[in-house]
Amino acid sequence: MMWLFLRKQKHLIDYTLSSLLRRMGKSLGLLAVYTLIVFMLASVTLFTHALRKEAGLMLQASPEIIVQRMQAGRHALIPADYLQRIGRLRGVTQKEGRLWGYYYDPAVKANYTIMTAGQVAAPLTEIIIGTGIARARGLAVGDYLTLRSQNGEAFSFEIAALLDEKSELVSADLLLMSPQVFRRLFNVPEGFYTDLVLSVRNPREVRKVVEKLTLLLPDTRPILREEVLRTYDSVFSWRQGILFVLLTGSILAFVSFAWDKASGLSAEERREIGILKAVGWETADVMRMKFWEGMIISLSAFMIGYLAAYAHVFYASASLFEPVLKGWAVLYPQFRLTPFVDGLQLATLLFFTVLPYIVATIIPIWRTSITDPDAVMR
């Protein structure tokens, strides 16, 4: 019984394939449009999802809590003795002050992110720069880079090393120098930091620690890593959603195109169905045949479109959507995303492409299948 059923479906698929090949031009037209739709939506999905994952992975290594001092609603320098005022908080495994800032370089009209690295760049005259800066200024290891301090003094630094290309997504515009030089360059007095970072081992204790911090240091604003992560998560799915809404227009156009294709039968197709019914096919058989036709086209379009999108995103850096989804900057990192394929994204995509196609073709298919044989062959 089961075998009989499967054999019947196999013959139906055989027949459908040969009839699709006979109408090559028409099938190819539909397939091309369908593939394009899948390609666009899949590119958006794959790209945003990969970015989201990347952001998550990056932040994995960042400290759980960042404490910033606020003054009149603005971020201000935080005195080093706040570290003592925090004292020993249960659950906090490590706490330290950070020095960092931005430097506007008029030569390339770009902002560098400057951080201090106590151990990495020990000598006062040496710095380590990210590959983005190196590209923009045409610098290599051993070259000199001059920065002007706040009171107009010029400081020359030798480039000791370039940061690893693998971390370019975060380090393209990064410049590492020693804390002493940082203080002189930006006029930051001793005993002050830009902000403080706290590491908390147990994720469940983070919120309690933050609660205590806000009591201890009322003029500060703690920023949680999980909050940052959550924001990234929502922002990326929101951006993806916006693009989907914009693409709804094209999905609708595709739906009406598919409807049209399925209902506008040529005289030859009409005759074909007439003959099929005359030789004993039932309405249900014709509908089944048409169902397989839809499945073959949908699956081919979905697979081709998805693979093309995969290549587009992970090999061509999603050149079509980059500016919208990623944002834009002078020192933009060049990076290749790590491929992530996610079941939920795949399912969502199926709902946005295959479902509208199926719905659009049900009624035309039925109209076709109830054709009377004598009406068309007369």
**Contact residues: another protein, CB under 8 A:** 45, 226, 229-230, 233-234, 237-238, 240-242, 244-245, 283-284, 287, 342-345, 347-348, 351-352, 355, 358-359, 362-363, 365-366, 369-370
Are β-strands 174-177 and 110-116 bridged in parallel, bridged antiparallel, or unpaired? parallel
Side chain identity at residue 188, one-letter code: V
- Joined together, the tokens standing for residue 250 give 């094209």
Shortest reach from residue 14's CB to another protein, in Å:
22
SS3 99: coil
**What are the phi and psi torsion angles at 372 (to 5°)?**
-85, 135
Tokens of 369: 């299948």
Please state the closest distance from residue 35 (CB atom) to another protein, in A: 20
Cβ atoms within 10 Å, residue 50: 22
Least distance (Å) between residue 201 CB and another protein: 17
What count of other Cβ atoms lies within 10 Å of the Cβ of residue 167? 15
Residue among 126 and 342 whose Cβ is closer to another protein: 342
3-class SS shares of the chain: helix, strand, coil, % to 5:
60, 20, 25
**Residue 202 or 234: which CB sits closer to another protein?**
234
If the CB atoms of residues 54 and 342 are measured against another protein, the closer one turns out to be: 342
Shortest CB 240 distance to another protein, Å: 5
Q: Which is nearer to another protein, 83 or 362 (CB)?
A: 362
Report the DSSP pairing between strands 126-129 and 195-200.
unpaired
Identity of the residue, 153 or 233, whose beta carbon is nearer to another protein in the bound complex: 233
- The Cα–Cα gap between 77 and 220 comes to 11
Q: How far is the CB of 289 from another protein (least distance, A)?
A: 13
Which lies closer to another protein via its Cβ, residue 64 or residue 105?
64
Nearer to another protein, 82 or 236 (CB): 236
Nearest distance from residue 359's CB to another protein, in Å?
6
Beta bridge pairs of residue 157: 145
H-helix or E-strand spanning residue 248:
helix 225-263
How far apart are CB 206 and another protein at their closest, in Å?
Answer: 11
CA–CA gap between residue 16 and residue 212 (Å, rounded): 70
In this structure, what DSSP letter does residue 64 have? S
CB closer to another protein, 1 vs 107: 1
In the chain, DSSP finds a helix count (H) and a strand count (E) of: 13, 13
At closest approach, how far in Å is the CB of 251 from another protein? 10
Q: ∠ CA 42-325-34 to the nearest 5 degrees?
A: 25
